[in-house]
Amino acid sequence: MSLYRLENIVHFYGGRPVLSVDRWDIRQGAITGLYGPNGSGKSTLLKLLGFVDTPTLGAIHFQGRRAETYSRRIRDRVALMPQESHLLKRSVYKNIAYGLRIRKDKAKEAEKIRLAMSLVGLDADQFADRPWYALSGGEARRVSMAARLVLNPSVLLLDEPTTSVDAASAKMMKQAATEAHRKWGASLVISSHDLQWLQDICHDIVYMFNGMILGEGGKTFIFGPWEKTGTRRAARRLADGQVFKTENAPENPAGATAAIDPEDLSIHTSAEVVPPGKPPLKGLITRLVLEKHADRISVSVSVGDTEFILYLDPETISRHGYQPGMPVLIAYNPGNVEWYSASAY
Amino acid sequence: MDFIFHGLTEAFRLLVTGDAETFSAVAATLTVSSYSMAASLIIGIPLGFALGYLRFPGKHYMRLVVDTGLSLPTVFIGLLVYAFVSHRGPLGDMGLLFTLPGIAVGQTILALPIVIALSATAIESLESDLRTTLLSLGAGRYQLVLSTLWEARHAILAAALTAYGRVMTEVGISMMVGGNIKWDTRTITTAIALETNKGKFALGIALGLVLLMIAFAVNAGVSFLRRK
């Protein structure tokens, strides 16, 4: 049985459609990642999964039953940490205790709060009595996380948990999320711009763009702005200055998103062996991960801030001695790029 | 200048010796303002919450009406209440004319728009993320309302203080509906007006000082609560 099943979901904000999901299942006990650019609908989707908003159209089934927003059955199981760390105007202790108190869960409150604070690296003696306004952004985010962890939710939804926080806080948030899954088997849905982290911990990653789920799995997405360079041609300058060129661009590619299938990517150690017609980009191997259910290895190659993903068999990896940190060339097929329009609605 | 100085010293004497007439006016003021504040907060906070939180057709016009109520002159409220509770009026049988509850009705009408308008503003100015935060922590409908009000508590307290200040210092309603009856419906402000007319500054100044002390005590109490 799925944890969630979304059917024919359409959601509007101010009369404007912002999310459209025909059908999507989330597995019980899994860590699911949501990846996509700003405005792609990740936060909206998480609010619907957290039953904070009700979809304008369509149905959400939770553990096999159609879910109602204010149902107690759901509210006690699901905890959403929104993107903005809004703390209640009270002490850190009372902020974390809020969820327990509205559930009338009074047993061992102080002990539970101390444990939740330790999970996010906050010293209870130092922070418990602090008022909400005496915290840094990273500390406020960690308090917000502790307020969810203390509830031991069976579903934890995290919206950009590591955005706008210092490196130490981001590390604590990541560890805390993993702990929630490991310690009490929480199902996690995490939206993040940190694709590498998602790839490290998620069982499934879903790519979102313009309010739609583009698909699951290892496509490489290159988001705009694109520059039109000729008929059906467009180019995107990547963060390190290299240019990704395509030859099958739509009429107006500016805000569109390009998706590249792993099958259309190849990896090479020198320019001499790059097949003709496939332009190469210089990159760095960042990760090699053995796929859980397939006899293949997922190779991530970083070009600027874009992560290209392709799959190789273990024998090829070992023959070429590919390893993280190794500079390589990644070649692609410029005429076989899948496009997602900026104006899907 | 002498008569002002004499008034001040006489005022301290009245307060220290517990002058019965002075304290009768103080008691009337505290009684009537307690009634009217209790009524206006009980009615006004829920209405202010609804006006600030909910979206409904005509909300804008409703807000306009409430905001207009902020400028209601006390003598006009006094006139209206007088007309309703006088023997010829529709509520004449209730016997409210020239009584403290009668004044309280008028003062409630005075305070209500202040409590509603400022509570609504307090709720509106809460960050839009608050609802998401409360729901995401598991709040149900009832808890959502109570927690939202609690988050706005400082601003609602300020609304109550503003209304209290207006109620304590008004003269028109107390004079017209209460009739300024000595030992009965004479409040601090009506007594000051009367004594000043009679040229008796001492009692006026003494009552003025009491009014200031009450205001100070209320503000000190609120300031203490805010730090909680």
pTM of the predicted model over 0.90: no
The verdict on a CB contact (< 8 Å) between B140 and A102 is yes
CA A21 to CA A24: how far, in whole Å?
7
State the pLDDT at residue A292.
60
Q: Does B139 touch chain A (CB under 8 A)?
A: yes
A88 and B135 within 8 Å at the Cβ level: the answer is no
Closest CA to B41 of B164, B143, B187: B164
When pLDDT is averaged across residues A118-142 and rounded to a whole number, the result is 93
Which pLDDT band holds residue B184 (cuts at 50, 70, 90)? very high
Q: What is the model's pLDDT at position A56?
A: 93
Going by pLDDT thresholds of 50, 70 and 90, the confidence category of residue A345 is very low
> What's the pLDDT tens digit per position in A210-248?
888 887 767 788 888 899 998 889 999 998 899 999 999
Q: Model confidence at A293, in pLDDT bands (50, 70, 90)? A: low
Two tokens, residue B94: 């209730």
Name residues 147-176 of chain A within 8 A of B (Cβ).
Answer: 147-148, 151
Q: What would the pLDDT profile of B105-143 be if each residue is shown by its tens digit?
A: 999 999 999 999 999 999 998 887 899 999 999 888 889
Inter-chain CB proximity A72 and B141 less than 8 Å: no
pLDDT of A301 above 80: yes
Beta strands A338-340 and A233-237 are unpaired
pLDDT classification of B30: cutoffs 50, 70, 90: very high
Enumerate the β-bridge partners of residue A213: A208
Token digits of residue B224: 């203490």
pLDDT of residue B90: 92
| CA separation for the pair A301, A249 (Å, rounded) | 23
Nearest CA in chain B to A148: B137
Contact with chain A for residue B125, Cβ under 8 A: no
Over residues A94-109, the pLDDT tens digits come to 999 999 999 989 899 9
Does A52 touch chain B if contact means CB atoms closer than 8 Å? yes
3-state secondary structure chain A: CCCEEEEEEEEEECCEEEEEEEEEEECCCCEEEEECCCCCCHHHHHHHHCCCCCCCEEEEEECCEECCCCCHHHHCCEEEECCCCCCCCCEHHHHHHHHHHHCCCCCCHHHHHHHHHHHCCCCHHHHCCCEHHHCCHHHHHHHHHHHHHCCCCCEEEEECCCCCCCHHHHHHHHHHHHHHHHHHCCEEEEECCCHHHHHHHCCEEEEEECCEEEEECCCEEEECCCEEEECCEEEEECCCCCEEEECCCCCCCCCCEEEECHHHEEEECCHHHCCCCCCEEEEEEEEEEECCCCCCEEEEEEECCEEEEEEECHHHHHHHCCCCCCEEEEEECCCCCEEECCCCC
Q: Is A70's CB within 8 Å of B147's CB?
A: no
- Pair A67, A61: CB distance under 8 Å: yes
Cβ within 8 Å, pair B137-A99: yes
A55 pLDDT above the threshold of 70 = yes
- Hey, of A68, A69, A78, A98, which one would you mutate to test binding to chain B, going by the most B CBs within 10 A of its CB? A98
pLDDT digits (tens, 9 = 90+) for B63-104: 999 999 999 999 999 999 999 999 899 999 999 999 999 999
- Report helix, strand or coil for B174: helix
Answer whether residue B202 shows pLDDT above 90.
no
Domain residue ranges of chain B, discontinuous segments joined by +: 2-226
Distances in Å between the Cα of A83 and the Cα atoms of A10, A12, A47, A75 are: 21, 19, 10, 19
Distance between CA atoms of residues B74 and B80, nearest Å: 10
Q: State the burial class of residue A263 (Cβ atoms within 10 Å of its Cβ: 0-12, 13-18, 19+).
A: exposed
Question: What is the band of B228 on the pLDDT scale with cuts at 50, 70, 90?
Answer: low
Q: CATH for A4-215? A: 3.40.50.300
* Per-residue burial over B12-45, b = 16 or more CB atoms within 10 Å of its CB, e = otherwise: eebbeeebebbebbbebbeebbebbbebbbeebb
Determine the 3-state secondary structure of B113 from DSSP. Answer: helix
Q: Which two tokens stand for residue A215?
A: 């698909």
Indicate whether A83 pLDDT > 60: yes
Q: How far, in Å, are A82, A202, A213, A226 from residue A34 at the CA level?
A: 14, 10, 9, 23
In the predicted model, what is the mean pLDDT of chain A?
A: 89
Bridge pairing between strands A78-81 and A155-159? parallel
pLDDT in tens, B125-135: 888 789 999 99
Q: Give the β-pairing of A338-340 and A257-260.
A: antiparallel
Mean pLDDT of A322-338: 92
Residue A58 has what pLDDT? 93
Q: Supply the pLDDT for residue A217.
A: 65
Query: What ranges do the domains of chain A cover?
Result: 4-215, 218-340
Which CATH number is A218-340 given? Answer: 2.40.50.100
* The CATH number of domain B2-226 is 1.10.3720.10: yes
Rounded-to-integer distance, Cα B83 and Cα B224, Å: 41
Q: Please judge whether A86 and B138 are an interchain contact, meaning their C-beta atoms are less than 8 angstroms apart.
A: no
Q: Is the pLDDT of residue A190 over 90?
A: yes
Give the residue among B28, B160, B176 at the shortest CA–CA distance from B106. B176
Mean pLDDT of A202-216: 84
**Alpha-carbon distance A287 to A323, whole Å?**
8
Separation CA B108–CA B43 (nearest Å): 9
What is the per-residue pLDDT for A30?
A: 92
pLDDT score of A323 more than 70: yes
- DSSP type of residue B170: -
- Average pLDDT for B211-226: 86
Q: How far is CA B165 from the centre of its chain?
A: 6
